[in-house]
Structure formats: structure tokens, C-alpha cells
């Protein structure tokens, strides 16, 4: 090849280095990693070189007969252009380069990629004009033969056309039929899904915005030829193109213009005869989109034929999805044909549809009657005129049919049909607006029919549904009739012998409450609340217990909004005020527990929904709950009433904690000041009785009897924001005071509350705590450890404090973890320390969570579990005897909280300990181990397969009942063993376990006779998999 300097007489000002670099680039086979385009671009930007000067330097390399040389020259020029700022390519350069890259010699197949890439860059420039766009398109149409090029090259051409469409549409419209015929030529025969997705989007713009009158058939041919789409992406397709994407894009093209109607509709009718469900569904979806666009005049020629085709798919449905598509297409057809009116004198599609459906409804128990209701229900979602006609004729027909029936057995089917139609009307505001005036003369008949249907079991559920739907249709029933309907629902609800009808009535009342809360408040709530006892002796009656539980369940579902929620809290609190002073019998405690649980469930549901009215409706609830629990516990003597029960205090604390979460910062600060006053001895502001004199001195941290009140105070503080916590109290002094009190707490429930309170303060106010406070923690812990009676409690306290530091990412938390690990060697407390280790990553109680405004560092559990697991694994090989057992207990306790990805990544090193942990005797810990093996078998079978024989033997022992294993935790361990065993047939090669199959099946034969139902179910599922386990 001749040197560039020999071909061109370059001015002396041109850099000889640039010529040398270009020659080297052109002589190199692989230029993919060359930085020369960027270098030349920098020289042009700095004005050391011009773009046309670069063209002159490249010289004959741009017209070289050698394909490789010419391609590299064009690629270099194109690469420089793509990196240049738009302002560095002026109008002259744009004009010259456009002429060059659109020449027939440049657009040859060998150099098409480079030329199109350069034109793509030019098309995005501000200096690229209307004439340039026309020239580029015309050149592409004249010189590019798409079928001879590979997919990637064809995609570049489509992208260039798409760029022209996006930035130079006016120029393409000016080309008129020339552009349309040229594009049709380019797009004809394209088959690659990657290119078709772009081609369809271009075609839609053309169909919507261009004058296509003279090229309708050509455009129709290049689009409809792909219908229906049969493309199925290969597994792991890197391009992410789905069949649904292509179907949607093609459907958008076919529904883009009414000019396609005469051509497409006959072909769509043919496609409806397809035997393949997927093709039929595509056709139905396309018709749903096309009917409104094609319009009434075009569609009416084929309307009756389409109705007949759609009705076949519904009346003789074989595929649910096809049936749904047919109903959607029918609605689209009705909207198109009858958008404004129905000609009563003609045999229209709507009239024919209603006649056919009413005829089928004459036999309401037949399958076709159900299909007719589906059609009528779909029609009730279409245009207002259709809704009006269908409502009038269908309801009158069904009411008359129900009245004239000679066979009472058919009445439930008619009532079900009526309820289904009412449901369709109630679902949309538009249908309600149109149908309500039509139904007004019929409402009395409907209420009467459904009311009589309530008396019979066979029609009760349909009648309940129908009555509920009547109340949901706006402006149909006056308030007194809604109350009458609700009264009928009440009667069904209180009859707990028919649980299905009772539950449906409750669900109906929940829906009615959204529109008619006042009716529910005055008609239903008194009935429900009357089932809540006010005396302890009533709780001895089993029927009364069933009734109050049923009532509380209803309150949990019904009283979630506004006035109903407020009334429920007031009434439940009133019941608590009556019951808590009574003697703490088991029925009384259970009843109070259920009352408080109902409050907390409703509050939790409202919080999960994001309701903002919790604080508004519960402003006095905290003081009321505090009063009914604090006052009875002020005495230093033993209290026998229910309000002294620690479980109930915890339940009440949970209610208070949920309320506090919903408070604003200011509300929380006000509450914090009341709590501060209580710690300082004045509890009256907290219970809203400042006008009364204190009966006794209040100090829950010193008086043993009053320490029960610490549970309420702790829960009230757990969800305070850091800026509202311990107002007017010095955190360090408060922490030391609570720690000193913890030395004397014997009850684990109270100590747990104190531990959580300390953890909350340490986590949220760490910056305000003096370092000496942490030293005091350790000193207190050591003191507690030395008392054998308090060793387990002290370890749990230390675990909570460590958790407070770990979750916020404090390095001190890991130092305390090491101190906890060091206690494993102490024989008296080693096992308890191992179990306490699981407190730190346990986030199930939500006491230290973002919802409670704690300071939580992301991925703290992953970091902590990885840290501890590696400590345990490093200590295990050298441990002996009891030390080994303690490590296994620690591992088993921790596994429940270890993230799955950590278990999988550490499984090779963890496996020896996991296998040994199968021998732990604690059922709860064993269940943790077995659940871990089940998870590994499903997600990382390669780690389990080498040990599968040992595992199977251990699982067989664990899944069968023994004389000592009939507790709930033992049953949970058996279920875990069975689930793990059931995972093996799917993941382990048959030859590996073939020798043990018979043994496993014998053991499962015993497990299926387990006395506990959940275990039997798991055993049946497991045995089914092992029966099918073959080579």
C-alpha cells in the first residue's frame, strides 16, 4: 500500500505524527482496542486538525478497492465523528460527509456498517437538514439490499430509519409515497425478532401520521404477514425479547389506522378458526384493539359473524384464557357498534346477544346459562346504552323467571345469576350511574327474592352476595333499606353454625361499611358488641366463648376506618375496665388477652395500610390503658386481679407501642415528658388524673410489686424517636438506674422488658452515653453472671445490649460478641450463652427496627452472621466434649437467623458442624438444623449430595414419633425432617439413594400415622415424592 504522504501533498502544518498513526491503524488487522479515534478527536476539538483535513489525510483509504483497508478507513472516520461534540461538525462538513456516505460506492455491502454508523451520527447533528434527511433515505432505498446483509447490519439500517423518524419526520413526510414504497421494500422479508420489534414501532408511526392512501396494501402486507406471532425466545435469551413484546407491537400496528379494516377483518375471521389456542387468543386481543379504530361503518359488515364466533368461544369454552379474550373482544365490538344508541327495529348485534342469552337463561341450571351470565356481565362493562338495555331486559327476565319457576330447585341458580349481574354493575362507577335508575323499579323485587333465598341453605350464599351488591350500587337503596339489608346480614353472621355463610356475611358488611359506615355503626356494632361478656361467670359457658371470639374476629375486620375504629376502641376498652379488676381466673385472663390482641391486630393492620388517623382516634387510649393497669399495681402487696398478669401487661404494652409509632415527633415528645414524670414518681399525668392525689409513692425501678408497670413504660418508649427519648432525663444515669434494678428482677418477663428498654436507649442515644456507661454494663453483667439463679437472665440482658450496638454497626458490639463467645467454656453458663447468641441477629420482634425508629445499618445481619459463623467454625475442630456441644448449640440457635446466601457460601466449611448438629437433643434447635439442610438441598445440592446417606439415616430417626416427642416443638422438628427428606428426590441422583429407598418408605409409613395432622400431611407429600423417585 502506498504511503498517505505519497498520495497527498499535505501542507507542512499538518502533523507528520498523525499521518504515521493513521498508516499504522490502516495496516493493523484488529483495531478494536486502538485509541486513535479518541486521539484524533482531541486534535480536532483543540483545532490542531479539521474533520475535512482528516478526510484528506485518509485519502484513498476511503476509496480503496481492498475491503479490509477501506472498512478500516471508514471505521476510523466514523469513530472520530461519533466522539466529536456536535458543535465541531459544521454545515459544510455535514454536507460533504453526507454526500460521501450516501454515495453508491460507500453503501456497498462490504462497508455498509461503517457508512450507516456515520450517517447515524450525522442525523443527530443540529447541522443536518431536511435535504440531507431526504438524501440519506433515498440513498438507502436505492443502494441497500437488506436480505443479503446479516441481522446486525439490518438492525443498524432500521435504527437509522428510526432516528430519521424521530428527528426528521417532516422530511420523510415530504418524500410521500417515495418514502413509503422505499421503506416497504427495506422491511419486506425481515424475520429476526430483534429487528421486527423496531420495524413495528416505525410502521406504527407511519400508519398514524403519514398519508398512506396509495400504499395501504403494501403497508398491510409488511405487517399482517407476521400475524399471529409464533416466536418463542430461547432459554436464557440475552436480548430479552419476549413473544408478548412482539405481539403488543404488532397489535399496535394493526390497530393504527382504519384503512386496514377492510383488509384485516376477513383475515381475522379466518384466524379465529385456528386450532392452536395461542393463535386464537392473539386474534381476539387484536380484534379488541382494532374494532374501535376501524369504526362502526367498517365493522358492521362482519359484526354478526364476529358475535357468533365469540359466542362459540364462551358457550363452548375449552380454555379459560381464550374465553376471557373472547369476552373482551365482545365488549369492544359492542362499544364500536353501539356507542350511542341501539336501533330497536333492527336485528343488531346487541339485540341478538340479549335474545340468545335470555333464551339460555330459561334453563338456569345448565352450563350454557352460566356462559350467558358471563356474556351479560361483560356487556355491563361496555357503553352506557348497552348497560341500560342489558340491565332492563336481563333483570326483568330473571325476576319473572324466578317468580314463574315450577321447580324450586332451580331458584338458587337464578339467584346466583342475579347476584353475578349485580356484581358486574357494582364494580364500576359508570355502570352504577347508568344501571341505578333502571334498577330502581326492580329493587323491591330483588330484595324480596334475596331475602327469601336467605332462608334456604342452597341459595343463602348467592342471596347474601346479591344483597351486598345492592347496597354497593350508589343511589339505589335509601338508608332505611340499607339498614334492612344489614339487619339480614347480621342474622346470618351471628349464626356460627354455618361458618361459610357467616364469613360471607361478615365480608359483605366490611364492604358495606365503606359506603354506609353509619348504618354499620348503628345496626351491626351493637349486635357484635353484645356478644362481649361483662362478667366473668359468663366465660364459663363454652357457647359464650365461641360467640365472643367470633365477635372479636368481626371487629378486627370491620372496624378499620374512622368512626367504626374509634367506637371499637372505646367499647373494647370499656370491657377491659370491667374485667381487669376481677379475679385472675384462666377464662378471665384469656378473654382479656383476646381483647387486647384484637386492639393490637387492628392497629397493626392500619399501620400496614399506612392509615394516618391512628393518633387522631387513639389520643386518650394510652392514658386509659395505663390507668387500668397502673393503678391496681401500685400496691406493694401481691395483687390477685387480672391487671397484674404479666402476659396482659405485655399485650397492653404492645398496643401502646403501636399507637406511639403513629405519633408525630411533637406528640412523642409530650408523651416522653409524661413518662419522665412517672419515673420521677408522679404517675398521674400519664394516666390523665392530675386532679387526683397520688395514692402511694410510685417507683417501678425500686418496688418489686410496681416493677410490673415497667413493662408498660418500656413499651411506651420503644418506638420513640431518638429526639423524643428520655426528655428531661440524663441517659447515662437512667441506664445505670435500670441496670441496678435489673440486679433484683427475678421475673424473666420484666427483665426482658428492662433489657429491651436498655437496648433501645443504647441504640438510639449511643452518642449521648458516656464511655463509662458501657463499662458499667460489663460490671453489672459480671455481677449477674456470678449468681447462678440469674445467669440465664444476665446472658439474655447482655445479648440485648450487644444487639443494640451490632445493629447500628458499632465496633463495640463485636467486642461484646467476643466476650459472649468466651463464656462458652464456662460449664455453668456455656449452653445458655450459646442460646443467647441468637438474640443478636433476631429481628422478628420488631423492637429494634426502622419502624420503631431504631438506628439500623444495612446488611448488619450478613456481617454479623458471617463473623460469628467463622468464629464457631475455627473453634470447632479443637473443641472436645462439652465444649463441642456448646458450639453446636450456638450454631443451631443461630441458623434460624442466618441469611440464605451466607449459608450457601459457607456450606463447604460449615458442613462438618451441621452434620454433628443433627445429634442435638433440643427439638427447636434440631428443627433449625433440618430446615437449613432442606434449604441447601434445594439451592446448593452439590454441598449436600456427598453426605446424603448420613443425612437420610438421621432424617429417618427425626421424622418418626417417640414417647418423648409429642410436644409442639417436637412436631415442628418432625415436619422439618420430612420437608428435608422430600427435597432429595428432586435434587439427588436416583442411584445415589436407591439402596435406602425401601428404608425411607417404611419410615414414612409410620410417619403418615402421626397423631398430629400437619405432620401427617408433610409425610404424605414426602412419601408421594419417594414413590415416584426412580431412575
964-1016 pLDDT, tens digit per residue, is: 567 888 888 999 999 999 999 988 888 888 888 999 999 999 899 988 899 99
Coil vs helix vs strand at 344? coil
Q: Please state, in angstroms and rounded to a whole number, the distance separating the CA atoms of residues 834 and 917.
A: 13
Above 70 in pLDDT, residue 32? Answer: no
Could you give phi then psi for residue 583, rounded to 5 degrees?
-60, 140
Average pLDDT score over the chain: 88
- Better-predicted residue by pLDDT, 294 or 3: 294
Q: Is 17 exposed, middle or buried (0-12, 13-18, 19+ CB in 10 A)?
A: exposed
The residue among 302, 327, 299, 331 whose CA lies nearest residue 313 is 327
Query: Which residues share a beta bridge with 583?
Result: 641
Task: Please tell me the predicted confidence (pLDDT) of residue 965.
Answer: 60
CA–chain centroid gap for 945, Å, is 34
Q: Please state, in angstroms and rounded to a whole number, the distance separating the CA atoms of residues 414 and 462.
A: 9
Residue 562 carries which DSSP code?
Answer: H
The residue among 510, 453, 442, 505 whose CA lies nearest residue 476 is 442
Q: 57 is written with which cell numbers?
A: 489525510
Task: Please tell me the predicted confidence (pLDDT) of residue 2.
Answer: 38
Under 8 Å CB-to-CB from 193, ≥6 apart: which residues?
231, 233, 239, 241, 246
The residue among 644, 637, 641, 654 whose CA lies nearest residue 598 is 654
Could you give phi then psi for residue 758, rounded to 5 degrees?
-60, -45
pTM, whole model, 2 decimals?
0.79
Share above pLDDT 90 across residues of the chain, in percent, rounded to a whole number: 59
- Better-predicted residue by pLDDT, 783 or 745: 745
pLDDT in tens, 897-944: 999 999 999 999 999 999 999 988 888 888 999 999 999 988 888 998
- Sign of the CA dihedral 945, 947, 948, 954? negative
Above 70 in pLDDT, residue 321? Answer: yes
Residues 80, 39: contact at Cβ < 8 Å? no
Q: Please state, in angstroms and rounded to a whole number, the distance separating the CA atoms of residues 847 and 757.
A: 9
Residue range 726-745: mean pLDDT, rounded:
86
Residue range 833-837: mean pLDDT, rounded:
90
Task: Please tell me the predicted confidence (pLDDT) of residue 620.
Answer: 84
Q: 774 is written with which cell numbers?
A: 458501657
Most confident of 588-597, 609-618, 740-749: 588-597
Task: Please tell me the predicted confidence (pLDDT) of residue 29.
Answer: 62
Task: Please tell me the predicted confidence (pLDDT) of residue 922.
Answer: 87
Q: Indicate the pLDDT class of residue 13, thresholds 50, 70 and 90.
A: very low
Q: Indicate the pLDDT class of residue 92, thresholds 50, 70 and 90.
A: confident
pLDDT in tens, 259-282: 999 999 999 999 998 878 999 999
- Better-predicted residue by pLDDT, 633 or 468: 468
Q: Indicate the pLDDT class of residue 25, thresholds 50, 70 and 90.
A: low
Reported as type and span, the H/E element at residue 69 is helix 67-83
Above 50 in pLDDT, residue 1? Answer: no
Residue with cell 413526510: 173
Residue range 408-433: mean pLDDT, rounded:
91
The residue among 852, 904, 908, 842 whose CA lies nearest residue 721 is 852
pLDDT in tens, 845-859: 778 999 999 999 999
Coil vs helix vs strand at 790? helix
Residues 404, 361: contact at Cβ < 8 Å? no
pLDDT in tens, 45-78: 777 777 777 777 776 667 666 666 677 777 777 8
Task: Please tell me the predicted confidence (pLDDT) of residue 72.
Answer: 74
Q: Which stretches of 318-383 are DSSP H helices? A: 320-337, 349-361, 367-379
Q: 89 is written with which cell numbers?
A: 461538525
Residue range 238-267: mean pLDDT, rounded:
94
- Better-predicted residue by pLDDT, 777 or 458: 458
Amino acid at each position: 500500500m502506498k504511503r498517505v504522504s505519497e498520495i497527498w501533498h499535505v501542507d507542512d502544518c499538518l502533523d507528520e505524527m498523525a499521518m504515521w498513526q493513521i498508516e499504522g491503524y490502516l495496516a493493523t488487522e484488529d483495531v478494536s482496542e486502538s485509541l486513535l479515534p479518541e486521539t484524533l478527536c482531541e486534535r480536532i476539538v483543540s483545532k490542531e486538525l479539521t474533520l475535512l483535513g482528516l478526510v484528506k489525510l485518509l485519502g484513498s483509504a476511503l476509496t480503496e478497492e481492498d475491503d479490509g483497508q477501506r472498512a478500516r478507513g471508514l471505521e476510523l472516520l466514523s469513530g472520530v465523528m461519533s466522539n466529536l461534540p456536535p458543535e465541531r461538525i459544521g454545515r459544510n462538513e455535514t454536507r460533504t460527509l453526507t454526500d460521501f456516505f450516501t454515495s453508491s460506492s460507500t453503501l456497498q455491502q462490504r462497508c455498509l456498517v461503517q457508512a450507516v454508523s456515520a450517517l447515524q451520527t450525522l442525523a443527530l447533528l443540529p447541522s443536518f437538514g431536511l435535504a440531507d434527511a431526504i438524501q440519506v433515505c433515498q440513498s438507502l432505498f436505492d443502494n441497500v439490499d437488506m436480505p443479503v446483509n446479516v441481522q446486525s447490519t439490518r438492525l443498524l439500517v432500521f435504527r437509522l430509519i428510526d432516528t430519521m423518524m424521530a428527528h426528521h419526520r417532516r422530511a420523510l413526510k415530504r418524500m410521500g409515497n417515495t418514502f413509503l414504497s422505499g421503506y416497504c421494500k427495506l422491511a419486506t422479508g425481515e424475520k429476526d425478532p430483534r429487528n421486527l420489534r423496531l420495524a413495528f414501532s416505525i410502521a406504527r408511526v407511519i400508519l398514524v401520521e403519514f398519508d398512506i392512501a396509495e400504499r395501504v396494501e403494501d403497508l398491510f402486507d409488511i405487517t399482517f404477514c407476521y400475524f399471529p406471532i409464533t416466536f418463542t425466545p430461547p432459554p436464557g435469551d440475552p436480548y430479552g425479547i419476549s413473544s408478548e413484546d412482539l405481539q403488543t407491537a404488532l397489535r399496535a400496528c394493526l390497530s393504527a389506522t382504519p384503512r386496514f379494516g377492510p383488509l384485516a377483518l376477513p383475515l381475522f375471521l379466518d384466524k379465529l378458526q385456528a386450532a392452536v389456542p395461542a393463535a386464537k387468543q392473539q386474534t381476539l386481543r387484536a380484534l379488541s384493539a382494532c374494532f374501535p379504530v376501524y369504526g362502526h361503518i367498517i365493522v358492521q359488515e362482519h359484526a354478526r359473524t364476529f358475535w357468533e364466533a365469540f359466542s362459540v368461544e364462551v358457550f363452548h369454552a375449552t380454555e379459560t384464557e381464550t374465553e376471557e379474550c373472547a369476552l373482551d373482544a365482545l365488549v369492544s365490538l359492542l362499544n364500536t357498534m353501539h356507542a350511542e344508541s341501539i336501533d330497536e327495529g333492527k336485528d343488531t348485534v346487541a339485540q341478538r346477544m340479549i335474545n340468545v342469552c335470555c333464551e339460555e337463561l330459561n334453563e338456569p341450571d345448565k352450563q350454557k346459562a352460566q356462559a350467558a351470565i358471563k356474556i351479560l356481565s361483560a356487556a355491563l362493562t361496555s357503553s352506557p346504552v348497552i348497560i341500560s338495555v342489558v340491565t332492563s331486559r336481563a333483570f326483568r327476565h330473571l325476576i319473572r323467571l324466578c317468580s314463574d319457576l315450577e321447580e324450586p330447585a332451580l331458584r338458587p341458580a337464578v339467584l346466583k345469576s342475579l347476584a353475578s349481574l349485580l356484581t358486574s354493575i357494582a364494580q364500576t362507577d359508570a355502570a352504577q350511574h347508568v344501571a341505578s335508575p333502571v334498577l330502581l323499579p326492580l329493587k323491591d323485587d330483588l330484595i324480596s327474592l334475596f331475602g327469601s333465598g336467605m332462608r334456604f341453605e342452597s341459595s343463602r350464599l348467592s342471596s347474601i352476595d346479591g344483597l351486598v351488591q345492592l347496597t354497593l350500587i350508589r343511589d339505589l337503596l335509601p338508608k332505611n333499606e340499607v339498614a334492612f339489608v344489614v339487619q339480614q346480614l347480621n342474622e346470618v353472621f351471628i349464626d356460627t353454625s354455618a361458618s361459610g355463610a357467616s364469613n360471607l356475611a361478615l365480608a359483605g358488611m366490611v364492604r358495606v361499611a365503606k359506603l354506609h359506615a353509619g348504618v354499620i355503626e348503628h345496626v351491626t356494632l351493637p349486635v357484635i358488641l353484645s356478644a362481649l361478656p361483662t362478667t366473668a361467670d359468663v366465660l364459663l359457658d363454652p357457647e359464650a366463648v365461641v360467640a365472643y371470639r367470633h365477635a372479636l374476629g368481626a371487629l378486627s375486620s370491620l372496624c378499620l376506618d374512622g368512626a367504626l375504629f374509634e367506637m371499637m376502641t372505646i367499647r373494647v376498652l370499656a370491657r377491659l375496665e370491667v374485667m381487669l379488676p376481677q379475679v385472675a381466673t384462666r377464662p378471665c385472663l384469656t378473654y382479656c388477652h383476646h381483647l387486647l390482641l384484637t386492639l393490637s391486630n387492628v392497629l397493626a393492620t392500619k399501620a400496614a395500610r399506612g392509615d394516618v388517623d391512628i393518633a387522631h382516634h387513639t389520643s386518650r387510649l394510652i392514658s386509659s390503658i395505663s390507668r387500668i393497669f397502673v393503678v391496681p399495681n401500685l400496691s406493694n402487696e401481691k395483687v390477685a386481679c387480672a391487671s397484674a398478669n404479666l402476659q396482659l401487661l405485655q399485650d397492653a404494652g404492645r398496643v401502646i407501642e403501636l399507637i406511639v409509632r403513629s405519633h408525630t415527633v411533637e406528640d412523642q415528645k409530650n408523651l416522653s415528658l409524661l413518662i419522665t414524670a412517672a419515673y420521677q414518681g408522679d404517675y398521674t399525668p400519664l394516666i390523665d388524673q392530675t386532679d387526683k392525689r397520688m395514692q402511694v409513692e410510685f417507683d417501678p425501678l425500686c418496688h418489686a410489686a410496681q416493677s410490673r408497670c415497667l413493662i408498660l413504660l418500656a413499651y411506651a418508649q420503644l418506638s420513640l424517636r431518638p429526639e423524643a427519648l428520655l426528655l428531661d432525663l440524663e441517659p447515662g444515669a437512667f441506664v445505670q438506674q435500670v441496670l441496678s434494678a435489673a440486679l433484683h428482677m427475678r421475673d424473666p418477663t420484666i427483665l426482658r422488658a428492662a433489657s429491651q428498654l436498655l437496648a433501645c436507649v443504647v441504640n438510639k442515644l449511643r452518642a449521648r452515653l458516656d464511655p463509662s456507661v458501657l463499662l458499667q454494663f460489663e460490671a453489672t453483667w459480671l455481677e449477674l453472671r456470678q449468681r447462678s439463679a440469674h445467669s440465664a437472665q444476665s446472658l439474655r440482658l447482655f445479648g440485648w445490649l450487644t444487639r443494640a450496638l451490632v445493629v447500628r454497626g458499632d465496633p463495640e458490639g463485636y467486642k461484646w460478641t467476643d466476650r459472649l463467645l468466651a463464656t462458652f467454656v464456662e460449664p455453668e453458663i456455656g449452653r445458655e450463652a450459646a442460646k443467647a447468641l441468637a438474640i443478636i441477629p433476631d429481628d422478628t420482634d420488631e423492637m429494634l427496627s426502622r419502624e420503631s425508629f431504631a438506628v439500623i445499618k444495612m446488611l448488619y445481619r450478613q456481617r454479623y452472621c458471617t463473623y460469628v459463623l467463622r468464629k464457631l467454625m475455627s473453634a470447632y475442630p479443637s473443641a472436645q466434649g462439652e465444649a463441642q456441644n456448646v458450639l453446636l448449640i450456638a450454631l443451631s440457635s443461630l441458623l434460624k437467623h442466618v441469611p440464605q446466601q451466607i449459608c450457601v457460601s459457607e456450606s463447604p466449611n460449615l458442613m462438618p458442624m451441621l452434620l454433628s448438629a443433627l445429634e442435638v437433643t433440643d427439638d427447636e434447635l434440631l428443627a433449625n438444623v433440618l430446615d437449613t439442610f432442606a434449604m441447601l438441598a434445594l439451592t446448593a445440592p452439590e454441598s449436600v449430595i456427598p453426605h446424603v446417606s448420613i443425612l437420610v439415616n438421621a432424617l429417618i430417626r427425626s421424622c418418626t414419633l417417640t414417647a418423648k416427642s409429642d410436644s409442639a416443638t417436637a412436631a415442628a422438628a418432625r415436619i422439618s425432617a420430612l420437608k428435608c427428606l422430600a427435597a432429595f428426590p428432586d435434587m439427588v441422583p436416583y442411584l445415589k439413594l436407591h439402596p435406602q429407598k425401601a428404608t425411607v418408605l417404611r419410615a414414612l409409613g409410620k410417619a403418615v400415622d402421626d397423631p398430629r395432622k400437619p405432620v401427617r400431611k408433610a409425610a404424605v407429600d414426602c412419601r408421594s415424592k419417594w414413590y415416584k423417585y426412580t431412575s
